[in-house]
Structure 1
Amino acid sequence: MSATDSLSLAPLVAVIALAVLAAWGAARLFIATYRYIRATPFQRARMRHAWAVSRRWRRLAPNVGLARVDENTKGRKDWQGKTAKPVTVVPKIRVFPEPWGIRAVIKTIPKVGVEEVEKAGGWLADAWDCQTVEVRRLKAGLVEVRGIVGNPLDEHAPYAWPDADDWVLPMGHNPWMRQVAIPLRQLSGIKVAGLPGYGKTMLMLAWMASLANRANVQFAIFDGKTSDARYGDWGQAGDRAMFVVGDNPETANQRLTELVRLLKDRPAALVEERGTHKFWKHGPTETNPLVLVLMDECHNYADTKGLTGKDKQVIESNQRMMQTISKEGRGLGVIGIFGTQKQTGDAIPTAVRDNLEVGVCFPTFTIDAAEAALGSGIRKDEPNDPSKLVDKESNVGVCVVTGVPGLGGQYDRVRVGDLDEDQLPGFIASTAHLRRDVIPAAAPTVVDASTVQADESAGTSVPLQKKPARHSRKAS
């Protein structure tokens, strides 16, 4: 093909290219118009919001420090020989409407990355008419900014019951209206902290209620809020639990001893039933059920402050057995849930607390209390700081969670589902026939008959173990 032929084809190629671009633009406009017409009024408002943010981005980015001057264009001359204005590079952005607000994906440029976007977060929230924005790195070169309009955590929703095959503890929805749940498989345990009156006990009651209709789940309840468990928050759950004890450390010690005995005997029971000691390989059964150990205000069983003698020994024994449950229960289907107002070392042994992989923290007065429950990373996550949620008018039932799969070790706020307290006793009563005591009997002890007779004559029937005889040799 000659040069003349090539020149004659150039206009045709240009016309075809323009036609393709026009068709592509018309198709995009048609699709956007179709989606807009089909959308609800609420969705249309979100779409208009996203379009406005996208349209104003090129003017906004330089004003909030998210654009950079191309150093290669400084000092460049134009065709007249005059110094041309340097080129300002603005990161590309795509904005999507969401039920909770808008989601923007920004393509990073040199010197404008996730840290710079985080610093500009407050300005972006104001410019985009959002209550708050949250920034995270999607992958290399992409930053996601979530702008929340209003406060989705103010919206209440019923507690979501899991399916029969789902081994999870549902919690509620996060700021992006996604349901959050804690998987139970291979879970070492959960720590629940926060000020009184914000929903710790109701969440733990909801967890029990969500599994109460399963014959392959049993419950052990320690109510540290009352001396007589029949008259506390957990009294209504007594018909479904293997036992419910009050705040007496000695009574708790007896029950903890039984749970540790269950742990020690369970591997043999599992092998006998299914040929393997691995509990979650075949899952819970009625013979070897999942056992949830719910300890509300557990500091009453573990705090040795001011105690001496026998009282201190009992508490130290409780600490050791709580530690055994948290460390050995994961693979044997015995999961501890430890609730207390402040998860510090005096309220719960650090050997227990630091082994519980999921942390749930309701509002706290100090960041130190939040750190005890959620780890040191919460100090750097200002939007999820539980000490900023201390407002009973709006934040009862709002907590911060970590350790849940999908968070990547980060934190998420959750509005806990609403549970009808008036209907809870009736529901628990309807499942009372599923209660079974699966704790194995204690091994028999060898006793001295003469000692037992002496004890009975003294007014007690507690058998004592026979002491080994001591033989002494006289000096010759």
Structure 2
Amino acid sequence: MSSTDALGLAPLVMILTLVGLVAWGAARLFITTYRYIRATKLQRLRMRQGWAVARRWRRLAPNVGLARVDENTKGRKDWQGKTAKPVTVVPKMKVFPESWGIRAVIKTIPKVGVEEVEKAGGWLADAWGCQTVEVKRLAAGLVEVRGIIGNPLDDHLPYVWPDQDEWILPMGHNPWMRQLAIPLRQLSGIKVAGLPGYGKTMLMLAWMASLANRANVQFAIFDGKTSDPRYGDWGQAGARAMFVVGDNPETANQRLTELVRLLKDRPAALVEERGTHKFWKHGPTEANPLVLVLMDECHNYSDTKGLTGKDKQVIESNQRMMQTISKEGRGLGVIGIFTTQKQTGDAIPTAVRDNLEVGISFACFTLEGAEAALGSGIRQDEPNHPTALIDKDANTGVCVVTGVPGLGGRYDRIRVGDLDEDQLPAFIASTAHLRRDIIPAAAPTVVDVSAESAGASVPLQKDTKTTRRRKAS
């Protein structure tokens, strides 16, 4: 091709390029307009807010410390030999409108990363008209900023019941309107803390109701709030449980002994049924069901403060068995859920508390109480402090959670789904026909004739129908 032909093609290439750019711009405009027309009133509002945030970004970023001067351009001369103004580099940002506010993804530049964006979080919230912002590192070079407009936790949504094939305990929605749930597979247990009247027991009743219509689930209830559980929060629901215990530590000791015996016998029962002792490999069955141990106000069974003699021995025995359940129940389908107003070491043994992977805290007065339930990291996460949930009118049913998949060890606030406080226990009671007592009978003893005079006996692990006598050799 001659140089003349090449020059003749240049305008054609430019025209085709221009036409392509115009077509691309027109297509984007058409798609955006179409989405705007089809959107709801709230979605249109969020789209306009997102456009405003994107349009003002290049002016806002330098003013909040999220832009940097390119050092390579300092002292550079222009074509006239004068010192040129250094180039200011602004991180690129994409904005996505969401129902709860603004989600922005920022591409980092040198000296502007996740820490700098977190420091500027308050200024970004004010500039974008958001109540709060949350900053998270998505991947290398990408930072996500979520700005909440209003307070989605004020929205009351229905409680979401799980499907029959789902082994989860539903919670509710977080500030990003995402539904969170606790997976039951391989779960070591749950600790729930918070002041009275904020929703601890209602959440546990909801969990019980979500599984009550399954024959392969059984319940053990310890109601530490009343001496006679028939007249407490668990009165009606108790018809679905293997047993219900009041606040008497000695009665609780007897029932905890039975649960530990179930744990010790379960590996053999699992191997006999399915050829393996791993409970979750095949999941719960009617012969070997999932057992939820619900201990409401568990400090009444484990606090030794001011006790001596036999009373202290009973409480210490309870502590050891609660520890056994929390440490050995995970792989055998026996899961403990322990609630108390303050999850400190005097209310619940730290050997139990620190082995429970999911922590939940409703409103509490002190950070020490929050730390006991949620771990020391909660001190650095000020937006999620449970001490900010004291307003009972606004925050009954709102809690802070950690240890749930998807949070990455972080914390999140949850608004528990709305429940009918009157109908919930009645629904649980309607499934009472599915209740079965699966506690194995206590093993008889083999009496050693040589020790018979001293009254000694040897407990057996396996259950038999008759007591055998063994002669001394």
> CA offset at residue 363 of structure 1?
1.3
Aligned residue in 1 for 2:462: none
Q: Does 1:276 align with 2:265?
A: no
- Structure 2 distance, partners of 1:202, 1:333, is 23
- Structure 2 distance, partners of 1:111, 1:269, is 60
Aligned residue in 2 for 1:472: none
> CA offset at residue 101 of structure 1?
0.8
- Worse-superposed segment, 17-26 or 144-153: 17-26
List runs of 5+ in structure 1 lacking aligned partners. Answer: 449-463, 469-476
Aligned residue in 2 for 1:54: 54
Aligned residue in 2 for 1:212: 212
Matched residue type, 1:35: R
Matched residue type, 1:222: F
Secondary structure of the structure 2 residue equivalent to 1:37:
helix
Q: Does 1:420 align with 2:420?
A: yes
- Structure 2 distance, partners of 1:304, 1:447, is 35
> CA offset at residue 84 of structure 1?
1.1
- Structure 2 distance, partners of 1:446, 1:249, is 29
- Structure 2 distance, partners of 1:41, 1:217, is 45
Q: Does 1:431 align with 2:420?
A: no
Q: How does 1:80-159 map to 2 (within 5 A)?
A: 80-159=80-159
- Structure 1 distance, partners of 2:403, 2:222, is 24
Secondary structure of the structure 2 residue equivalent to 1:238:
helix
What CA deviation, in whole Å up to 9, does each residue of 1:3-51 have, x standing for no partner? 4443333332222222211111111111101111111111111111111
Matched residue type, 2:232: G
Aligned residue in 2 for 1:349: 349
Matched residue type, 2:270: L
Q: How does 1:323-338 map to 2 (within 5 A)?
A: 323-338=323-338
Secondary structure of the structure 1 residue equivalent to 2:394:
coil
Aligned residue in 2 for 1:222: 222
Secondary structure of the structure 1 residue equivalent to 2:359:
strand
Aligned residue in 2 for 1:405: 405
> CA offset at residue 230 of structure 1?
1.0
Contact 2:325 2:335 (8 Å CA) reproduced: yes
Matched residue type, 2:456: K
Q: Does 1:467 align with 2:461?
A: no
Secondary structure of the structure 2 residue equivalent to 1:190:
strand
Secondary structure of the structure 1 residue equivalent to 2:439:
coil
Aligned residue in 2 for 1:203: 203
Contact 1:189 1:326 (8 Å CA) reproduced: yes
> CA offset at residue 96 of structure 1?
0.5
> CA offset at residue 425 of structure 1?
3.1
Matched residue type, 1:467: A
- Structure 2 distance, partners of 1:315, 1:437, is 25
Matched residue type, 2:198: Y
What CA deviation, in whole Å up to 9, does each residue of 1:252-287 have, x standing for no partner? 000000000000011111111111111111111111
RMSD: 1.6
> What is the TM-score of this pair, normalised by structure 1?
0.93
Aligned residue in 2 for 1:292: 292
Aligned residue in 1 for 2:40: 40
Secondary structure of the structure 2 residue equivalent to 1:239:
helix
Aligned residue in 2 for 1:241: 241
Contact 1:358 1:404 (8 Å CA) reproduced: yes
- Structure 1 distance, partners of 2:2, 2:51, is 48
Secondary structure of the structure 2 residue equivalent to 1:182:
strand
Aligned residue in 2 for 1:377: 377
> CA offset at residue 445 of structure 1?
3.4
Matched residue type, 1:126: D
From the superposition, tell whether residues 447 and 247 of structure 1 become closer, same or farther in structure 2 (CA, over 3 Å): farther
Contact 1:446 1:466 (8 Å CA) reproduced: no
Matched residue type, 2:91: P
How many residues end up aligned between the 2 structures?
454
Aligned residue in 2 for 1:23: 23
Aligned residue in 2 for 1:454: none
- Structure 2 distance, partners of 1:465, 1:207, is 50
Aligned residue in 2 for 1:187: 187
- Structure 2 distance, partners of 1:394, 1:8, is 73
- Structure 2 distance, partners of 1:467, 1:271, is 32
Contact 2:101 2:149 (8 Å CA) reproduced: yes
What CA deviation, in whole Å up to 9, does each residue of 1:95-124 have, x standing for no partner? 001111110000001110000000000110
Aligned residue in 2 for 1:306: 306
- Structure 1 distance, partners of 2:425, 2:357, is 31
- Structure 2 distance, partners of 1:365, 1:418, is 25
Aligned residue in 2 for 1:390: 390
- Structure 1 distance, partners of 2:5, 2:66, is 48
Matched residue type, 1:424: L
- Structure 1 distance, partners of 2:252, 2:446, is 25
> CA offset at residue 446 of structure 1?
5.6
Matched residue type, 1:323: Q
Q: Does 1:171 align with 2:171?
A: yes
Contact 1:91 1:108 (8 Å CA) reproduced: yes
Q: Aligned residues: percent identity?
A: 87
**Runs of at least 4 residues off by over 6 Å:** none
Secondary structure of the structure 2 residue equivalent to 1:158:
coil
What CA deviation, in whole Å up to 9, does each residue of 1:222-262 have, x standing for no partner? 01111111111111211001111111111100000000000
Aligned residue in 2 for 1:451: none
Contact 2:205 2:425 (8 Å CA) reproduced: no
- Structure 1 distance, partners of 2:446, 2:276, is 32
- Structure 2 distance, partners of 1:308, 1:369, is 27
What CA deviation, in whole Å up to 9, does each residue of 1:376-429 have, x standing for no partner? 111111111111221112111001111111111111110001111111232122
Aligned residue in 1 for 2:315: 315
Secondary structure of the structure 2 residue equivalent to 1:393:
helix
Secondary structure of the structure 1 residue equivalent to 2:364:
coil
Q: How does 1:244-255 map to 2 (within 5 A)?
A: 244-255=244-255
- Structure 1 distance, partners of 2:446, 2:105, is 72
- Structure 1 distance, partners of 2:131, 2:439, is 52
